């Protein structure tokens, strides 16, 4: 382990005295900055967009600096406010109301953001879906949420199993020459006719705004439900952790289908009225550097996978670009290797600030702050207002330097408020007043937290969370596959890759072509990132006597580790 400590960053910080602030801080104090503290009228869309659009000094500021290989566009706060008003009117016209689930299945574009805020403005619940999802992933989420409206594009409509979605009343299609089907609505036609005026639906802080589906180790993906109150923590961490100031140009690489792409790709920068860079499409190292240079990005929030790719593409690529504007760099989603931090100091002369949190937590919790030393390999310390600890399986705190469950004292402002349609799952997260994360970690004597791994079988591949059960279920749908067990296998660039062990049905021979066919089957049915990169055919898959796949054992075999207790193994 690289124990070299990196000193605090010099200069002004939005959170200068960490210890003192922690002692005196309460979330109540932070509420004073919001208009609803006086008016009692709440909507996160108002605080993020309309408030700036109404401010003569802010309305013409660029809110969204969008680019993709095909298109470039700058959208001001005023325009985003008006466009989202129009979309809110379209939703109202089709009888969409507070609490209804409205899903977005599309790539990032200016239309996405107008639609997203339109949904929030009517008090409905937005469900953004990752654009790489295939039919089954889309079906599971739209069925479980009983979505009423879906917004999508002609390129993606074929992945929507329309016959299996009885609750889906309308599909709003963003594209030209929209087919004339009863359920279809032509986005451009409706938007052209819609009014720019809309009186926003004022909601309660505890009313829902967002559903993010995420994977556990068992069952289908779960709908993590977030409420407007989360804005308090988005706002606080935008200042303390992202270190945003009025004139910053900020870029978060995450897709809004994942929680980082909403909490920090949408809410955090716009709650502070900061210019937000969005780049559509997949990225190469050149694309990343080019986007940073062209937009003069000052604050960049990305993932270890991306940073590792930048490290491996070398200095020659970096030397082509002028990144002198970049002043603050952050990472999330998987362990940040100390070597990458060392690279950041050498190649960019910047500290890389790791941040830890989850879909369920709604916002950053344990972080490296500009005003604190970085201990490379550590996720940092809990933000003010958050109590973090390491607990045993009964929820009792354990002493420093001992590994256990990473846990957070509940509640906090951005915490999920339920799992959609699954109260018992929701309750299972909490033990003795602690939210238990499923990650193992330890805390050192200085109060720094060190991530050790997942305690369950959830796979983290390139920062994307994949449930082994979903992949196994999909594998079993292939006619050749009799049994399947799926694990995450350590990988130097992707963190983990997905490895599937399968047994074959009678009549099928193990061959490269067959394995490739099975891989493609998962890729086109579920999504590219869920397709196993490695596959191995076995005579049998280890199971417990009650029939549960023993992934732990598969993993030990794969890595050549001791197999531990195998007393429950089926004969």
Position among 355, 368, 405, 473 found at the interface with ligand PRX (CB under 6 A): 355
488 near ligand PRX, judged by CB under 6 A: no
441 near ligand PRX, judged by CB under 6 A: no
Output the smallest distance, CB 239 to ligand PRX, in A. 19
Euclidean distance between CA atoms 435 and 209, whole angstroms? 21
259 near ligand PRX, judged by CB under 6 A: yes
289 near ligand PRX, judged by CB under 6 A: no
Output the smallest distance, CB 304 to ligand PRX, in A. 8
Q: Which of residues 442-471 bind ligand PRX (CB under 6 A)?
A: 451, 454, 460, 465
Q: How far is CA 560 from the centre of its chain?
A: 32
Quick one: tokens of 326? 């970049």
Output the smallest distance, CB 488 to ligand PRX, in A. 11
Position among 151, 173, 274, 332 found at the interface with ligand PRX (CB under 6 A): 332
Q: What is the CA radius of gyration of the chain?
A: 24
β-partners of residue 193 are none
Euclidean distance between CA atoms 227 and 231, whole angstroms? 9
297 near ligand PRX, judged by CB under 6 A: no
DSSP assignment string, 191-211: HHHS-S------B-TTSEEEE
Alpha helices (runs of H) in 387-428, residue ranges in sequence order: 423-428
Quick one: tokens of 465? 């969370």
Output the smallest distance, CB 140 to ligand PRX, in A. 17
- Give the binding range for ligand PRX (CB under 6 A) out of 86-94, 195-203, 331-339, 419-427: 331-339
Output the smallest distance, CB 87 to ligand PRX, in A. 27
Position among 248, 354, 472, 496 found at the interface with ligand PRX (CB under 6 A): 354
Quick one: tokens of 493? 């660039």
Q: CA quadruple 547, 549, 552, 556: dihedral positive or negative?
A: positive
Give 112 or 357: the residue with its C-beta nearer to ligand PRX.
357
Output the smallest distance, CB 504 to ligand PRX, in A. 32
Q: CA quadruple 77, 417, 94, 155: dihedral positive or negative?
A: positive
- Max Cα-Cα span within the chain: 74
333 near ligand PRX, judged by CB under 6 A: yes
Q: CA quadruple 503, 506, 509, 514: dihedral positive or negative?
A: negative
Output the smallest distance, CB 435 to ligand PRX, in A. 11
337 near ligand PRX, judged by CB under 6 A: no
Per-residue mark of binding to ligand PRX, 181-220 (x: CB under 6 A): ---------------------------------x------
- Give the binding range for ligand PRX (CB under 6 A) out of 107-115, 199-207, 351-359, 418-426: 351-359
Euclidean distance between CA atoms 439 and 425, whole angstroms? 17
Q: How far is CA 122 from the centre of its chain?
A: 24
Q: CA quadruple 63, 68, 73, 79: dihedral positive or negative?
A: negative
Give 123 or 256: the residue with its C-beta nearer to ligand PRX.
256
352 near ligand PRX, judged by CB under 6 A: no
Contact 441, 380 (CB under 8 A): no
Output the smallest distance, CB 383 to ligand PRX, in A. 13
302 near ligand PRX, judged by CB under 6 A: no
415 near ligand PRX, judged by CB under 6 A: no
81 near ligand PRX, judged by CB under 6 A: no
Give 259 or 310: the residue with its C-beta nearer to ligand PRX.
259
CB neighbour list of residue 549: distance below 8 Å, 6 or more residues apart: 472, 483, 484, 485, 541, 542, 543
Mapped onto helix, strand or coil, the DSSP state of residue 250 is strand
Q: Which of residues 518-537 bind ligand PRX (CB under 6 A)?
A: none
Q: How far is CA 104 from the centre of its chain?
A: 15
Euclidean distance between CA atoms 232 and 229, whole angstroms? 6
- Give the binding range for ligand PRX (CB under 6 A) out of 117-125, 138-146, 320-328, 435-443: 435-443
Output the smallest distance, CB 374 to ligand PRX, in A. 13
66 near ligand PRX, judged by CB under 6 A: no
φ/ψ of residue 334, rounded to 5: -155, 170
357 near ligand PRX, judged by CB under 6 A: yes
Q: Which of residues 502-521 bind ligand PRX (CB under 6 A)?
A: none
Tokens 């074929």: give the residue. 158
Say how many residues touch ligand PRX, by CB under 6 A: 21
Euclidean distance between CA atoms 137 and 161, whole angstroms? 10
Mapped onto helix, strand or coil, the DSSP state of residue 319 is helix
439 near ligand PRX, judged by CB under 6 A: yes
Per-residue mark of binding to ligand PRX, 23-42 (x: CB under 6 A): --------------------
Mapped onto helix, strand or coil, the DSSP state of residue 480 is coil
Output the smallest distance, CB 175 to ligand PRX, in A. 30
Q: How far is CA 552 from the centre of its chain?
A: 26
Output the smallest distance, CB 437 to ligand PRX, in A. 6
Which residue's beta carbon is nearest to the bound ligand PRX? Answer: 359
Residues listed for the chain:
571
φ/ψ of residue 211, rounded to 5: -120, 120
Interface contacts to ligand PRX, rule CB under 6 A: 214, 259-260, 332-335, 354-359, 379, 437-439, 451, 454, 460, 465
């Amino acid at each position: 382990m690289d124990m070299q400590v990196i000193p605090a960053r010099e200069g002004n910080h939005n959170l200068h005295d960490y210890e003192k602030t922690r002692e005196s801080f309460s979330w109540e104090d932070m509420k004073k900055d919001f208009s609803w503290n006086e008016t009692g009228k709440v909507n996160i869309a108002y605080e993020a967009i309309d408030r700036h659009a109404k401010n003569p000094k802010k309305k013409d500021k660029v809110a969204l600096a969008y680019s993709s290989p095909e298109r470039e566009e700058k959208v001001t706060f005023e325009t985003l406010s008006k466009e989202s008003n129009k979309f809110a009117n379209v939703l109202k016209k089709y009888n969409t109301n507070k609490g209804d689930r409205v899903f977005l299945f599309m790539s990032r574009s200016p239309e996405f953001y107008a639609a997203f805020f339109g949904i929030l403005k009517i008090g409905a619940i937005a469900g953004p879906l990752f654009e790489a999802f295939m039919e089954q992933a889309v079906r599971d989420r739209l069925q479980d949420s009983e979505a009423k409206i879906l917004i999508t594009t002609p390129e993606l409509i074929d992945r929507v199993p329309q016959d299996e979605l009885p609750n889906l009343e309308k599909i709003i299609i963003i594209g030209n020459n929209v087919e004339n089907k009863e359920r279809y609505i032509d986005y451009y036609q409706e938007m052209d006719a819609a009014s720019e005026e809309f009186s926003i639906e004022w909601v309660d802080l505890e009313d829902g705004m967002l559903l993010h589906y995420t994977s556990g180790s068992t069952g289908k993906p779960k709908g993590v439900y977030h409420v407007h109150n989360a804005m308090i923590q988005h706002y606080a961490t935008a200042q303390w952790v992202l270190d945003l100031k009025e004139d910053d140009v900020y870029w978060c690489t995450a897709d809004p289908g994942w929680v980082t792409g909403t909490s920090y790709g949408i809410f955090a920068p716009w709650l502070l009225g900061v210019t937000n860079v969005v780049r559509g499409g997949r990225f190469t190292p050149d694309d990343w550097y080019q986007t940073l240079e062209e937009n003069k990005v000052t604050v960049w929030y990305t993932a270890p996978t991306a940073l590792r790719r930048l490290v491996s593409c070398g200095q020659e690529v970096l030397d082509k670009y002028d990144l002198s504007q970049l002043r603050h760099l952050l990472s999330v989603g998987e362990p940040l290797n100390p070597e990458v931090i060392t690279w950041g100091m050498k190649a960019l002369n910047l500290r890389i600030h790791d941040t830890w949190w989850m879909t369920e937590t709604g916002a950053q919790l344990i972080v490296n702050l500009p005003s604190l030393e970085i201990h490379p390999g550590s996720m940092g310390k809990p933000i003010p207002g958050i109590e973090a600890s390491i607990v045993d399986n009964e929820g009792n705190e354990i002493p420093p330097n001992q590994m256990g469950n990473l846990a957070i004292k509940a509640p906090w402002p951005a915490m999920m408020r339920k799992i959609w349609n699954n109260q018992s799952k929701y309750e299972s997260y909490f033990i003795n007043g602690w939210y238990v994360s499923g990650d193992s970690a330890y805390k050192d004597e200085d109060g720094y937290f060190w991530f050790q791994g997942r305690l369950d079988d959830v796979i983290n591949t390139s920062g994307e969370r994949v449930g082994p059960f979903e992949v196994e279920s999909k594998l079993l749908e292939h006619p050749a596959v009799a049994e399947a067990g799926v694990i995450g296998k350590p990988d130097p660039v992707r963190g983990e890759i997905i490895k599937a062990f399968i047994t074959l049905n009678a009549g099928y021979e193990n061959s490269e072509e067959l394995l490739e066919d099975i891989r493609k089957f998962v890729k086109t049915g579920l999504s590219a990132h869920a397709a196993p990169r490695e596959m191995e055919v076995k005579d049998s898959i280890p199971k417990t006597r009650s029939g549960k796949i023993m992934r732990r054992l598969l993993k030990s075999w794969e890595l050549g580790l001791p197999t531990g207790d195998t007393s429950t193994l089926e004969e």
